[in-house]
Structure formats: structure tokens, C-alpha cells
Amino acid sequence: MRNLVINFYPDSKNISRKKMRLLPGYTGSCCHELGGKTMLTPINPPSYISGSDFSVSVVYGVSGQWKGYQVEIYPGDCSVSCELLTHNNPMAAAQLALSLLQEWLIFWDTPLDLVKLFSVACSKIRRATAALFVPFDSIEEVRTAVTTLADRAELLHNQKISWATDYRDRLQFHGSRRNGYWELSLQDHSIRFFALNDPAHWMSRVAYSHDIVVIPAEYLALCQRYLFIEVTVKKRWLTRNAKVSPADWGWDEVLINDEILSMVEHDFGLRQNFPIMMPTDAAVKGLGTRGKNLMAWYFDGSDPRHHKMFVGQKKPHDVFAENCDEIKSITGIDLTVPFTNVQQLAAHQKLERFLTPSTDFDLPPDFEQYVFASPEMTVGTKSPEVLFAEHQLDQFEG
């Protein structure tokens, strides 16, 4: 995982409220960094594993009652000091976030029994960024992939949105050639694609931090031959797809990657039908006369929103959307895409080779240490008991 925002809540059934007041931020004043009773500006402690920063916020309910903690981490930075190539392992990322939270609580002299109230089982993911990596032979080919995907997104979404401004859940396109990356932004997820540290487009955020380790130039050169595709799923998507708990994702990276890739393919129209002429009668079997007339109007090059069937309707946009949904469910054809766009999309370069990610990075053994959750890499987390004992020893020696 590239990024994880996760809330941890205590299993406090057998702990008194008086004891719970010892938790940092429980009363809003346990330590000066946590003053106030609203969601606070995050505290940014260092990871005890790598030294890279992560963030902790106290979560309060609408009534001001303490609920738990929110942790945001870049798993690679916080474990192997390198956030480049990474495996999509939400469970490993959640366990890392939990351990960092526990160490932070222990730093504030939180009793061990309170620290152990928090677990991955009592957590909820609020945002997660997974990554897909498409290998190419050179950074020039990666640039071509970025440009091709940008052109496709521009064609499919920037122009499409002008027909659909009254509807929710429509894609919008954001990007800047100056910054070297592009992003498709939806209500519930977004897709960002770029060439890493392209000399022609230096990224605003270098994906490794603090110079804790010297990243070999050979490793950086290898990473530059991958197209980086980051997919950020938000609370709404997580809830809709029953992926709020880390356990909901499971441990099978192949299945996780397939689900993420399916989203990307859908957003770039790989599974969409873009015919440039009226389908045969057999293809529209089951479609009513009104639907067929609307399709004929569309393939004649006319704007389907202006068909006479919508004249005088109380809510013409809603009626248009209902008809489009019916036609799409039967034929797979989306009448909300302007026909001029369809003609260009049909002739557009195939995207399959730009969206064929790999999970096998085929790295030299020495490079595995820079990959989060690699089978050959140990994250380095410690149990709360060990963390507590080390803290006690530090205080004694101090």
C-alpha cells in the first residue's frame, strides 16, 4: 500500500472510564499537543522503525466525546524508508499502523493494559491508496503510456462531463502536464498515473524521505521503468464495497490487484462498448420502441437530450438518465458520451498494454529491502510488551 488512513477504537468493555482518562487526548488536555475537543491537526511523530514521520489525530464524536485515534502512514516510508515499489497488503499496513500507534501511546506513559486495548480487529479504514506497476523497457515508453492514458481520459471524461453536469457520480478529470502526473477524480475514488522522478517532470513529492538509507541509483533507475498507477479509495467506496475492515481485504494480493485493476479498466472505458453505427435488431432485442428511436437519433449524430420525447417532461434530465440506464443495461452503449467522442474512442489506440501491471518486480536480492511487505522483507514491528519494556529501560537509563 502506498498510503493508509485508519481509525483505531479501544475494546474497552472491561476498563473503567476513570482508567480510560489516562489515554492521551481522552479529556482533551492530557498533553499539550492534544488540547481541544475537535478533530485536531495531526501530531507527526517518527516511526520507531525507520524514523520517517506518520500522523496521529484524536477522534472525537459530534458531542465531543473521545472515540479513538486516527493514524495516517506511508507504509514504505515508515518501515523500509522507501515508498517506491510496494505490494498491496492492507493487513500488513494496518498492523504496522497499529504498532506505531502503540509505541506513540507508550511514549506518553500510557499503561500497557490500555495500549493493548487497540487492535486491527477494532479498526476501520478511512482511506487507502493502492498501487499498480506496469513495466516498460525505458522511461520514454512510460512517458508514452502517461500521455496515452491522459489523452484517453481527456476524451472520455472531460468532454463527457459537459453532458452530465446535473448528475452525481460522474468522473471529472484533473491533471497538469507541468507537474508530470494526471488524476481522475470521482466522489468515491481517484486514479493518479505518472512516471516516477521523470527528469522532464520532477515530482513534487519524492517518494522516499529523510535520507535514512542511501537508495542505490540502480534501484531508482529500475523504478523509472514502471508506470505508477495509484488508486485511492475513499470512505464511500470502502463502505459500499464492504472493505472498511482490514480483514475484509484478505491477504491474497492477486485478488486485491485484480479488483483494483478492474476499477481502472472501467474508468478508462476498457469494458465499454463504443459502436459507431446503429446495432442490429438482434443486438437491441428487448429494447422498446422509445429506446430504439432514441438510439437511432443518437447514431444520426443528434444530441439525445434534445429528442422530442423529452419535450414537456417535468424532469427531462431524470427521464433522459432513466432511458440511458435502460439502453446501457441492454446494449452496453452509453448515450451520455457524445457521439463525436465515440467515433474518436473507437479509433483510439488500444490501452491493454498500458494497463498490464506486474506484481513480480524481479528485483536483485539486495533490493528487496526497499519494498514494503515483500515476502523477503520483515517490517520490523515489535509487540507492545517489547515496546513497553524498552520504554521503561530508556526512562531508567535516562
Quickly state the pLDDT bin for 181 (edges 50, 70, 90).
Answer: low
User: Residue 383: CB partners within 8 Å, gap ≥ 6?
Assistant: none
Question: And the C-alpha cell for 295?
Answer: 438510439
How far apart CA 257 and CA 264 sit, in angstroms, is 11
pLDDT in tens, 338-384: 888 888 888 776 788 899 998 888 888 888 888 888 766 667 889 99
- Whether 212 has a pLDDT exceeding 60, the answer reads no
Give the pLDDT score at 375: 63
Question: Which segment, 216-225, 316-325, 383-392, is predicted with the most confidence on average?
Answer: 383-392
Give the pLDDT score at 208: 42
How far apart CA 186 and CA 171 sit, in angstroms, is 5
The per-residue pLDDT of the chain, averaged, comes to 82
Q: Which of 194, 285, 275, 197 is nearest to 231 (CA)?
A: 194
Quickly state the pLDDT bin for 398 (edges 50, 70, 90).
Answer: low
Q: What is the dihedral of CA 207, 213, 217, 222, to 10 degrees?
A: -50
The arithmetic mean of pLDDT across residues 77-95, rounded, is: 90
Q: Among 178-182, 235-239, 385-389, which is the least confidently predicted range? A: 178-182
CB 112 within 8 A of CB 385: yes
Neighbours of 331 (CB within 10 A): 19
Q: For 71-102, b where at least 16 C-beta lie within 10 A, e where not — what string? A: bbbbbbbbbbbbbbbbbbbbbbbbbbbbbbbb
The arithmetic mean of pLDDT across residues 237-260, rounded, is: 93
Question: And the C-alpha cell for 194?
Answer: 505518472
State the Rg of the chain over Cα. 25
- Whether 169 has a pLDDT exceeding 50, the answer reads no
User: Residue 358: CB partners within 8 Å, gap ≥ 6?
Assistant: 133, 134, 135
CB 296 within 8 A of CB 309: no
How far apart CA 348 and CA 359 sit, in angstroms, is 28
pLDDT in tens, 103-150: 999 998 899 999 999 999 999 999 999 999 999 999 899 988 888 888
Q: Is 161 exposed, middle or buried (0-12, 13-18, 19+ CB in 10 A)?
A: middle
Neighbours of 259 (CB within 10 A): 16
The arithmetic mean of pLDDT across residues 202-219, rounded, is: 55
User: Residue 177: CB partners within 8 Å, gap ≥ 6?
Assistant: 150, 201
175 compared with 36, residue with greater pLDDT: 175
Report residue 44: phi and psi, to 5°.
Answer: -120, 80
CB 84 within 8 A of CB 376: no
Give the pLDDT score at 259: 94
Alpha helices in the chain (DSSP H): 17-20, 75-80, 90-107, 112-115, 139-153, 217-223, 235-240, 246-249, 253-267, 289-299, 316-331, 339-346, 384-397
Give the pLDDT score at 37: 38
How far apart CA 107 and CA 273 sit, in angstroms, is 57
How far apart CA 282 and CA 156 sit, in angstroms, is 27
